[in-house]
Structure 1
Amino acid sequence: MRGFLALRYAFAGGLLLLISGLSSAATEHFTSDIPLLKVEHLSPEYWLAKQPNAAELLLTPSQIVQQNAKTFAQQAEMTPIADIPLQFSRAELLKVIEQVSAIPQSPRFFADGKPLQENDWAPIQQQVNRAGVAENTSTQFALVTKRSALLAMPTTLRVFNDSMSLDLNRLQETALFVGEPVAVLHQSANGHWSLVQNYHYSGWVATEALALAPRQQVLAYVEQAPFLVVTGARAFSNYVPNQPQISELQLDMGTRLPLLSAAAVGHNLYGQNPHASYIVQLPTRNAKGQLQLVPALLARSQDVHIGYLPYSTEHIVRQAFKYLGQRYGWGYDYNGVDCTGFLVDIFRTFGLLMPRNSGQQGYGEFGQNVRFTEQSSHNTKLQAIKRAQIGDFIYRPGHVMLYLGESAGEPFVIHAVFDLAYVNAAGEFYRGTLNSVSVTPLAPLYLSAEQSYLDRIYAIKSLR
């Protein structure tokens, strides 16, 4: 027995040494051009260990409902689908079209650097179809059947500003997601595009991604209980032979789907026993463009939750890190997220809704706000940031970051971010790239050789 125990402990010790060696090797292997970043910063556990009350509930479900109602009242760009008018006059609809689809005042360029001229915009503006706006237009309603780009104009053309970053299509605004309700206001001249409004944005989406239904049916779907929420960066429905609309359908973080029971569909759905899957109800589009609700399976191994996640610091951080390393996507381009989409998705998993753009968020009144002026010093801002709570938002023009806390006295954030710039140890200005959801320190980052992030930070926002 003694020999067995000796062998057992020798094996255990060797295993610990092996694990320790692997951990050490992983640490030594890690290199980065991000200042102050260490490999342990890339784990949610590192930041949660600094927060003793991380599991404490920040808002109850009823308080979240109240917070959403307050947000809609404070943010003029947000309108519940139930409150969108059932009819638009010609003047009202043309005003919406102009707000969405006006030709930009600043120059735009093709990928080869050639500037767009008036004759390049003309066929796109023809599809905008102002001539097709009637004196009065009845609003239609729909559910989104697949993740789709929401665009400023009815075109797949990619255009760029004078920085000529080919990752940033300036006609891409945001995205719509499976099961999302929208009001359909207008169609392009060829009918391939629809001008829609969701709860916080308007734009053009491919008509084939919409399933039309009466408003009451659309609202009933999004309010149905019990429901499932996608809590991973994405989940996928199970494969179904010969049914591409519901087979391996991508479902993004925050997507809410009604739950069905086996009693409703039986024990054989599309040739599969549903016992190891959730049965959800998906919107599909029939041959006439109308809504048809169908059952589908979502394996229990997928990252999902019955009902909304409890709103806690722990869940905010864990949800954020599920996107870590994913490629940045301006307006959700490249099947990715941008800085505000990152936050919108995380907080949808708790049932919290917010404006789409960082300016609408940062300058808006929803939540608890700390404001800075151009005269606010770096020290004033740093002290305010250090008083912030993990999970608060930090804004500079055009960008928002999620606060993670301090490491060795330095504030860190996680954000979907394109550029990387700072002054290195030699005093030289360094410009690299991030182009992903990244963990970074805040204070060393620069926008240009003349301006730091701290120079431009104007607000901190808390939703508690």
Structure 2
Amino acid sequence: MSKIQQLSTYKCAVFQLVFWLCSYLFVSSVQAQQWQSDIPLLKAKHLSADYWLQSLPDAGQVLLTAEQITQRNADTFAVQPEMLAIADIPLSRSRADMQAVISQVSAVPTSARYFADGKALSAREWLPIQQQLNLQALKAEHTTRFALVTRRALMLAMPTELRVFNEAMALDLNRLQETALFVGEPVAVLHESQDKNWLLVQNYHYTGWVRAEALAIGPREQVLAYAAREPFLVVTGAKAVTNYTPEIAAISELQLDMGVRVPLLTAAEVGHNVHGQNPHASFIIELPVRNSAGNLELVPALVARNQDVQQGYLPYTTEQIVRQAFKYLGQRYGWGYDYNSVDCTGFLVDIFRTFGLLMPRNSGQQGYGAFGQNNRFAETAPHAEKLAAIRLAKVGDFIYRPGHVMLYLGESDGEPFVIHAVFDLAYFTAAGEFYRGILNSVSVTPLTPLYLTPEQSYLDRLYAIKSLR
């Protein structure tokens, strides 16, 4: 090639580079102009995990090793009374003990509850729900059964599909909805409803009523062994799905949520034809299914390698915490995991399960709990004291106010920002007017401008910062 041709080629490449750069800047500028938000101080750049990580040179440093995480979990179970390993759940309970459990889980609320049309539930309308508790079937000695969860299932305070609400509360927030169970999770089965369609179950951090059709009853040893099997696959995306499987509907395009752990199999064990598909481009996993008698069977299934999954837990680093959090960004808020989504504590529970870390379910149990490293202050403490504590926090720490928890992202232009699953949005405008909007999603927000009521800000109510390091 002649020098003239080389120069011409070089000029062409430079022109293409300049053209691409100008096009990128133009598109970015147009997108920035089109993007708008009623969230104070929020800019488009704040919606990227990379933005929060760019100034953290040690973001890839491992915070806890696998062995330290195992010890941290043991410490958490030791200091959190609401948490109990499935292997430690009693094999039987007396009638009195069962009555106490049901009373704690399924007591009729002392404050009024309402139907969606605003009509209050009367004692007469609570009665058929209470009858479903099936107290008359309790035996002198009640044997505990064990099961694996076969599909994502909601856990409720009472065995009913009825949705009830607080007065003037959003209809998205069913006050009987508590939490959820996830595929492959081991549970203890304590009792069944009068119509046998619901089971009262206990997992490692919660007890409530779940649809029986989502559980497969099996021998205790088999259930415990499944949950501990290695090697295993972890779902690292907000959701993943199994491959379509026409032969077995129960495992076909089955949703697997962030943090789900399932055993891995090999082609040497199952062959090179799994339900009519070659598994070379998929992970082979073992899933629990419920047979016609309601009992446990284990079958192979496939998860394509294009899904957001990996063998073993993620390394526990600040970078991974932030990236996992942003995988939920924009997802609709789901009280107690309702709407196939997450609430504020479920958001954290799911993220940290991908590292193998376990924690309590409710925000009060977390915020007031002894696990982790805790920096607590009185709600009445001066704002300056609270802001000083926040500025000492690490990216990925938890910030608590009553009934809510946020994941700390760091500061931008001197303002602390958080990412959280949150319903309400309220603040004072620059004109001094109180603005009430809605978030109802996993959102990035500043911390100090947000209010609960015109009289109380987020900062007024903050009481703790927790670190898991």
TM range (shorter): over 0.9
Query: Which residue number in structure 1 is paired with residue 246 of structure 2?
Result: 241
Matched letter for residue 174 of structure 2: N
Q: SS of the counterpart of 2:162?
A: coil
Distance in 2 between residues matched to 1:254 and 1:18, nearest whole Å: 39
Query: Which residue number in structure 2 is paired with residue 222 of structure 1?
Result: 227
Query: Which residue number in structure 2 is paired with residue 428 of structure 1?
Result: 433
TM-score, normalised via structure 2 length: 0.98
- 1:4 Cα offset (Å): 2.8
Matched, 1:297 2:302: yes
Matched, 1:463 2:468: yes
Alpha-carbon contact 2:153-2:211 (below 8 Å) kept:
yes
Q: Residue 12 of structure 2 is aligned with which of 1, 4, 7?
A: 7
Matched, 1:53 2:58: yes
Alpha-carbon contact 2:380-2:460 (below 8 Å) kept:
no
Matched letter for residue 123 of structure 2: E
- 1:220 Cα offset (Å): 0.4
- 1:291 Cα offset (Å): 0.6
1:292-325 Cα deviation digits (max 9, x unpaired): 0000000000001110001000000000000000
Q: Residue 108 of structure 1 is aligned with which of 102, 106, 113?
A: 113
Q: How many residues align?
A: 464
1:93-172 equivalences under 5 Å are: 93-172=98-177
Matched, 1:259 2:270: no
1:222-249 Cα deviation digits (max 9, x unpaired): 1000000000000000001142100000
Alpha-carbon contact 1:410-1:441 (below 8 Å) kept:
yes
Distance in 1 between residues matched to 2:55 and 2:167, nearest whole Å: 43
Distance in 2 between residues matched to 1:242 and 1:25, nearest whole Å: 49
- 1:374 Cα offset (Å): 3.2
Distance in 1 between residues matched to 2:15 and 2:343, nearest whole Å: 50
1:44-443 equivalences under 5 Å are: 44-443=49-448
Matched letter for residue 238 of structure 1: N
Distance in 1 between residues matched to 2:227 and 2:202, nearest whole Å: 16
- 1:219 Cα offset (Å): 0.8
More deviation in 265-274 or 337-346?
A: 265-274
Q: SS of the counterpart of 2:125?
A: helix
Alpha-carbon contact 1:109-1:164 (below 8 Å) kept:
no
- 1:200 Cα offset (Å): 0.2
Distance in 1 between residues matched to 2:468 and 2:14, nearest whole Å: 50
- 1:10 Cα offset (Å): 1.4
Q: SS of the counterpart of 1:369?
A: strand
1:394-416 Cα deviation digits (max 9, x unpaired): 00000000000000010000000
Distance in 1 between residues matched to 2:22 and 2:300, nearest whole Å: 51
Q: SS of the counterpart of 1:238?
A: coil
Alpha-carbon contact 1:278-1:297 (below 8 Å) kept:
yes
Matched letter for residue 210 of structure 1: L
Matched letter for residue 53 of structure 2: L
Matched letter for residue 169 of structure 1: N
Distance in 2 between residues matched to 1:76 and 1:363, nearest whole Å: 12
Q: SS of the counterpart of 1:52?
A: coil
Alpha-carbon contact 2:154-2:180 (below 8 Å) kept:
yes
Distance in 2 between residues matched to 1:181 and 1:11, nearest whole Å: 57
Alpha-carbon contact 1:111-1:164 (below 8 Å) kept:
no
Unaligned stretches of 5+ in structure 1? none
Distance in 1 between residues matched to 2:441 and 2:252, nearest whole Å: 28
Matched letter for residue 149 of structure 2: V
Distance in 2 between residues matched to 1:96 and 1:22, nearest whole Å: 59
Query: Which residue number in structure 1 is paired with residue 35 of structure 2?
Result: 30
- 1:435 Cα offset (Å): 0.2
- 1:23 Cα offset (Å): 1.1
Q: SS of the counterpart of 2:444?
A: strand
Distance in 1 between residues matched to 2:238 and 2:443, nearest whole Å: 15
Distance in 1 between residues matched to 2:269 and 2:262, nearest whole Å: 16
Distance in 2 between residues matched to 1:258 and 1:342, nearest whole Å: 24
Matched letter for residue 317 of structure 1: V
Query: Which residue number in structure 2 is paired with residue 40 of structure 1?
Result: 45
Matched letter for residue 78 of structure 2: A
Alpha-carbon contact 1:393-1:461 (below 8 Å) kept:
yes
- 1:101 Cα offset (Å): 0.4
Q: SS of the counterpart of 2:195?
A: coil
Distance in 2 between residues matched to 1:201 and 1:266, nearest whole Å: 39
Alpha-carbon contact 2:379-2:462 (below 8 Å) kept:
no
Alpha-carbon contact 2:247-2:275 (below 8 Å) kept:
no
Distance in 1 between residues matched to 2:448 and 2:316, nearest whole Å: 28
Matched letter for residue 318 of structure 2: T
Q: SS of the counterpart of 2:456?
A: coil
Matched letter for residue 167 of structure 1: D
Matched letter for residue 141 of structure 1: F
Distance in 1 between residues matched to 2:450 and 2:47, nearest whole Å: 18
Matched letter for residue 134 of structure 2: N
1:2-40 Cα deviation digits (max 9, x unpaired): 223222321221111111111111111111000000001
Alpha-carbon contact 1:113-1:164 (below 8 Å) kept:
no
More deviation in 335-344 or 242-251?
A: 242-251
Q: Percent identity?
A: 68
Q: SS of the counterpart of 2:72?
A: helix
- 1:366 Cα offset (Å): 0.4
- 1:458 Cα offset (Å): 0.4
1:276-297 Cα deviation digits (max 9, x unpaired): 0000000000111111000000
Distance in 1 between residues matched to 2:170 and 2:184, nearest whole Å: 32
Distance in 2 between residues matched to 1:282 and 1:375, nearest whole Å: 50
More deviation in 10-19 or 329-338?
A: 10-19
User: Over aligned residue pairs, what C-alpha RMSD do you find?
Assistant: 0.7
Distance in 2 between residues matched to 1:401 and 1:116, nearest whole Å: 34
- 1:329 Cα offset (Å): 0.1
Unaligned stretches of 5+ in structure 2? none
Matched letter for residue 328 of structure 1: Y
Matched letter for residue 372 of structure 1: F
Distance in 2 between residues matched to 1:172 and 1:162, nearest whole Å: 16
Q: SS of the counterpart of 2:375?
A: strand
1:58-102 Cα deviation digits (max 9, x unpaired): 001010000000000100000000000000000000000000001
